[in-house]
Amino acid sequence: MAHPLFPMLRPVIALWFGFAILGSAAAAEPAASPVPSPTPGPEETFAVAVFEAIADGDVERLRLALNDGGNPEAELPHTAAADALRARYHDEELAYYLRLETGYTPLMFAAAIGNEPAVRLLLAAGADPHRESRKNQTFALWQAARAGHLRIMCILMGIQPGSEPTRYRVRVDLASQRATVWKDETVLLTSPVCSGKESTPTPPGRYLITNKYRQWKSTIYPARMPFFLRLSCRDFGLHAGPQMGYPASHGCVRLPEKTAKELFALLPVGTLVEIR
């Protein structure tokens, strides 16, 4: 005869027996293997080879990578080899473009790091100098201008030695608040200027005129900027404006209106402007 408590314990025993069976089955089943990372395809491998050759300054290796199927417009993929290349660069803006910008091309990268032979080779291979990245619409000329690579800027703008833009140059002297313009070795004019005030100084440096706008309005300050000559894709340049006799602008170099109008008509895109 069954013990009188057996009917009451039967559900508990059955539940325990079920857990025991499940536990032994789970123990018998082998542990799942980790999912392997996907193997980079040929396109990704070629893209990394192109970027690595540019980074290493190895023109012959770049030539071979392009001849073997490397795409001059390829993006840097997210693979272990590509991430190792990204880790070489600590400049904040360049690191951002390499890590997060979509559509950042080998030509943009070569322009940013000043690799002139790579720029020439990529252009010869069909890279588009006007192509823009998808997120921030950066382009090769802007990348070269950001780093001050004037020779690469000239290549990207199609400016050859001895061409018309190379015959002109402008020098802005911040101390004397004057500008001088040359054509070849002849001084065409000198003019007073009004540069940036102490809180918004005009940055010294060597720039190229990259854009000309008959009428322009600042996107930062409530200011009109007629006859605007943008310098190296930056947010400042030469334009007509009030003359104070001392630094008083938001960073641009103001010219008397007559002079600004004359220079706007005279100076071609690609003219060198030196501010010192």
Backbone angles phi, psi at 231, to 5 degrees: -105, 120
pLDDT, tens digit, 9 for 90 and up, residues 191-216: 999 999 999 999 999 999 999 999 98
Place of tokens 């080779």: 121
Looking at residue 246, the DSSP 8-state letter turns out to be: S
Q: H or E element: which one contains 253?
A: strand 253-255
Cα dihedral 100, 106, 110, 113, rounded to 10, equals 20
* Full-model pTM: 0.83
Question: Given this model, what pLDDT does residue 160 score?
Answer: 95
pLDDT, tens digit, 9 for 90 and up, residues 15-57: 343 434 334 433 444 444 344 346 778 899 999 999 999 999 9
Which token pair is 262? 């004359």
pLDDT, tens digit, 9 for 90 and up, residues 81-99: 999 999 999 999 999 999 9
- Does the structure show a pLDDT above 50 at 13? no
- CA torsion sign for 121, 122, 125, 131 is negative
CA distances for 47 relative to 34, 61, 122, angstroms: 27, 13, 13
Q: How confident is the model at residue 223 (pLDDT cuts 50, 70, 90)?
A: confident
